[in-house]
Amino acid sequence: MILRRLSQSLKTQNWTAIWIEFFLLVAGVFLGIQVANWNQERQLDARRSAALSRLHAESEAAITYIESRIGRMAGEAELRTDALRRLSDNDWQNADPVKMAKALDSLQFAPAVSPPRAVYDELINTGLYSELGDPRMREAVSAYVAHIGWVERQIDYVRARIVARNDGRRFKGERPVFDPAAHRQTRRDYDFPALSADPEFVANAILNNETTIAQVEWTLDLLDKARAMCAEISRLDGQSCTPSKDTKP
């Protein structure tokens, strides 16, 4: 309609009408673009809000996972201390063989640290992460993710050292036994006095215990960073950081 009137005004050289029609045409195009941009920004804001909410939930799940892992590892610390004291002193009187075996078993492993991070990885891959929150929040998230990588590298090193210390060795007081009820149908039987008499095994257990303590310390640092991340996300989305207590590592 406006274009037809503008064409007619040009034919009759009605310049006042021409300018009015031209202004209305430009204004209409401008308003149309603004409305489209506004709708697009509103949709993007909705995506950002949903993404931030999902990242918040993932940060809470990460805290739950890390707390559970620390609780499990630290909960065996007293047991390991008792076992190592008995091992060093060759004092097995009144010792619970099941608990002592559990303590020695726990020194053979360096479990992975794998808190949930699928939402973070998705946001990175889609490019939406750089548009979330503010630099302060993104710095907290990045510090947490970077520390996961650091802990993983430390655990890889610990595993390599455990393998190097045990590769091809069979201590006289330790032997694998088939047990259908055990994890992977294998358990270790220990002759505790024989192990105490083996200085190489004692030294090996002490070194493994040192790395186990280090793993707890590294994971505690990771927990601090996870809590800082969750607090920063909470600052922006207004939701409290309330991790559950149900998830197991």
DSSP for 58-111, please give it.
HHHHHHHHHHHHHHHHHHTHHHHHHHHHHHHHT--TT--HHHHHHHHHHTT---
Task: Answer with the residue of higher pLDDT: 184 or 113.
Answer: 113
Residue 1 has pLDDT above 90, yes or no: no
94 Rama sector, left if φ>0, alpha if ψ -120 to 50, beta otherwise: left
Mean pLDDT of 20-48: 63
The answer to whether the beta carbons of residues 214 and 161 sit under 8 Å apart is no
Question: Which of the residue ranges 68-72, 159-163, 202-206 would you say has the lowest mean pLDDT?
Answer: 159-163
Instruction: Name which of 118, 123, 147 is nearest 133 in CA terms.
Output: 123
Residue 31 has pLDDT above 50, yes or no: yes
Question: Which of the residue ranges 136-150, 154-168, 231-245 would you say has the lowest mean pLDDT?
Answer: 154-168
What pTM was computed for the model?
0.77
Q: Is the dihedral of CA 195, 199, 200, 203 positive or negative?
A: positive
Q: Could you tell me where the DSSP H helices lie in 92-198?
A: 97-106, 118-126, 135-166, 192-196
CA distances from 27 to 8, 16, 31, 33, 87 (A): 20, 17, 6, 10, 87
Chain centroid to Cα 107, Å, comes to 24
pLDDT confidence of residue 240: 93
Tens-place pLDDT, residues 179-219: 888 877 888 889 999 999 999 899 989 999 999 999 999 99
Share of the chain above pLDDT 90, in %: 49
The dihedrals phi and psi of 44, each to the nearest 5 degrees, come to: -65, -40
The answer to whether the beta carbons of residues 190 and 173 sit under 8 Å apart is yes
- Distance from C-alpha of 201 to C-alpha of 171, rounded to nearest angstrom: 7
**Residue 178, beta-bridge partner list:** 186
Tens-place pLDDT, residues 123-157: 999 989 988 989 999 999 999 999 999 999 999 99
- Distance from C-alpha of 36 to C-alpha of 38, rounded to nearest angstrom: 5
